[in-house]
Structure 1
Amino acid sequence: MSNNILIVGATRGLGASLAALYSKKPTNYVFGTSRSSTLPSETKITWLTGLDVSESNVGEKLVSQVPASTKFSTVIITAGYFGFETFDTPDWEKQTKMYTISAISPVFIVHHLVKAGFLDNGSKVIIVSSESGSITLRHEKEGGGNYGHHASKAASNMVGKLLSLDLKPHGIAVGLVHPGFMRTEMTKGVGFDKYWDDGGAVTPDEAAESLASFIETFDISKTGQYWAPRGPRDIGTAESVLGKDLPTPLQLPW
């Protein structure tokens, strides 16, 4: 029996790595979303095009391209945006975009998938958040700044928790994950490449492998929970806040 898997944000970074990884297995049928209206070159993936998660109609546009009677076993929402800020240089437009992508669009995407019948009992929804969304893990060691990034991820966690409460009666599990500190254009674009080595940053392919393994074991018993599949290894404040000898995977505090 085939598994239909939807990757929202499948053209770059973690999303592209997940799409490539899942498409290697013959029993998986992978759908991927792209902002461009031009089909990407990866032919093993069924592309849903012209989908911008910062636009209010993303949910309607997405479901309109999915074949009727499709049932997704797994939906992974990976789309993200990081606009760098400091206390001296807050940016209204960047913050609005981060909140929209991280905390508003997942509600509308999941809503439309459920109402169209594409998610049902046994389906999993994984929202890619970040350890940066944990209020408990924020520590003077790393300082302040990047308000939109951190707060939008905290909001994303709340959205995932609320979705889990609404969808549990339907047997749909919702998880929040910190996939790891990654060597991507996104982190490089905000100057975080200088922390890659010391911070234990991994490639998107490595993060995809550990996330996919975690998703295999994720089920309704863990719905609404917040996890780091790769454990504490790239979370700079983990030991100072949570202590030593932490497990992998690591359930993160809100």
Structure 2
Amino acid sequence: MPTVLIVGATRGLGASLAKQYVSQSARVFATSRSKDTPESTKDITYIPHIDVAKEDAGSKLAKHLGSISLDTIIITAGYFGTESFDEPSWEKQVKMYTTSAIGPVFIIHHLVKAGLLKERSKIILVSSESGSITLRHESEGGGNYGHHASKAAENMVGKLLSLDLKEKGVAVGIVHPGFMRTEMTKGVGFDKFWDDGGAVTPDEAAESLIKFIETFDIKHTGEYWAPRGPRDIGTAEAVLGKDLSTPLQLPW
């Protein structure tokens, strides 16, 4: 029975991943930022008070897990605060950078130092195509500096982790799971783009991500992928051309 840790698993993609991994007979550990969690079962254990934006998240998580060996770690926790050039937000940007690019380093550091990862373990950072500098196109315009730049920073974090962990046989992947119909995207007004943008449900995104993770290994460590291909990346054809593959390796 594989053991999977999902960081950020009480709603959206994380909740769907937990549900689907359990249906595939995996043992799942799922974190929540608050003290309120769903009820744990024999197959899924919820861990409260794990806030990726806090420095102690990694040490608290490692302490809770004890000596449990992890096959797969998926960090899905995220925060999206909209802003513009005319109205930038210091507070929102700091929170986005901390959640996307600082917190994951400390979480992985503590889990590795606690001996909870082994050769052939996999780490998946859920990023976004919005972190690709190459895919940013004039048709989109600017704005949302913290969102785009924190995801670009997360991509670099994934690449650097892959270099540090390669000798241990631990593979690190960075993924754009798809444009999703979630409370997060709705909360920033992106629900108006759901239909035209090909947005999918978290369950659909989770299914394709799990299939991708099954085939992902050390040969591809440090790479940046869209498991669902270009279908919901509005600038993909304008920048990369037509007849793109699925899954699609994304440019930095």
For the aligned pair, the TM-score class normalised by the smaller chain equals over 0.9
| Equivalent residue runs for 1:227-242 within 5 Å | 227-242=225-240
Whole-angstrom distance in 2 between the partners of 1:19 and 1:13? 10
Q: Which residue of 1 aligns with 2:134?
A: 136
| Equivalent residue runs for 1:78-97 within 5 Å | 78-97=76-95
**5+ residue gaps, structure 1:** none
3-state SS, counterpart of residue 150 of structure 1? helix
| 8 Å Cα contact 2:80-2:188 kept in structure 1 | yes
Give 1:15 deviation, angstroms: 0.3
TM-score, reference length from structure 2: 0.98
Q: How many residues align?
A: 251
Backbone CA RMSD of aligned residues = 0.8
Give 1:39 deviation, angstroms: 3.6
Give 1:42 deviation, angstroms: 5.1
Whole-angstrom distance in 1 between the partners of 2:203 and 2:118? 29
Whole-angstrom distance in 2 between the partners of 1:6 and 1:245? 35
Whole-angstrom distance in 2 between the partners of 1:38 and 1:227? 33
Q: Which residue of 2 aligns with 1:51?
A: 50
Give 1:201 deviation, angstroms: 0.1
3-state SS, counterpart of residue 123 of structure 1? strand
Give 1:134 deviation, angstroms: 0.1
Give 1:186 deviation, angstroms: 0.4
Give 1:47 deviation, angstroms: 1.2
Q: Which residue of 1 aligns with 2:206?
A: 208
Q: Deviations over 1:127-161 (max 9, x none)?
A: 00000000000001111000000000000000000
Q: Which residue of 1 aligns with 2:6?
A: 7
Whole-angstrom distance in 2 between the partners of 1:55 and 1:148? 18
Whole-angstrom distance in 2 between the partners of 1:96 and 1:5? 29
Whole-angstrom distance in 2 between the partners of 1:7 and 1:39? 14
Whole-angstrom distance in 1 between the partners of 2:226 and 2:214? 14
Whole-angstrom distance in 1 between the partners of 2:231 and 2:40? 32
Out of 52, 73, 76, the residue aligned to residue 74 of structure 2 is 76
| Equivalent residue runs for 1:1-254 within 5 Å | 2-26=1-25, 28-41=26-39, 43=41, 44-68=43-67, 70-254=68-252
Q: Deviations over 1:4-51 (max 9, x none)?
A: 10000000100000001001122x100000112234235341111111
| 8 Å Cα contact 2:53-2:95 kept in structure 1 | yes
- Once the two structures are overlaid, the 10-residue window that deviates more, 159-168 or 41-50, is 41-50
Whole-angstrom distance in 1 between the partners of 2:184 and 2:38? 20
Q: Deviations over 1:143-186 (max 9, x none)?
A: 10000000000000000000000000000000000000000000
| 8 Å Cα contact 2:10-2:37 kept in structure 1 | no
3-state SS, counterpart of residue 47 of structure 1? strand
Give 1:194 deviation, angstroms: 0.4
Letter of the structure 1 residue corresponding to residue 216 of structure 2:
F
Give 1:71 deviation, angstroms: 1.0
TM-score, reference length from structure 1: 0.97
Whole-angstrom distance in 1 between the partners of 2:115 and 2:65? 11
Whole-angstrom distance in 2 between the partners of 1:61 and 1:40? 19
* Identical aligned residues as a percent: 73
3-state SS, counterpart of residue 114 of structure 1? helix
Whole-angstrom distance in 2 between the partners of 1:112 and 1:32? 17
Whole-angstrom distance in 1 between the partners of 2:49 and 2:165? 27
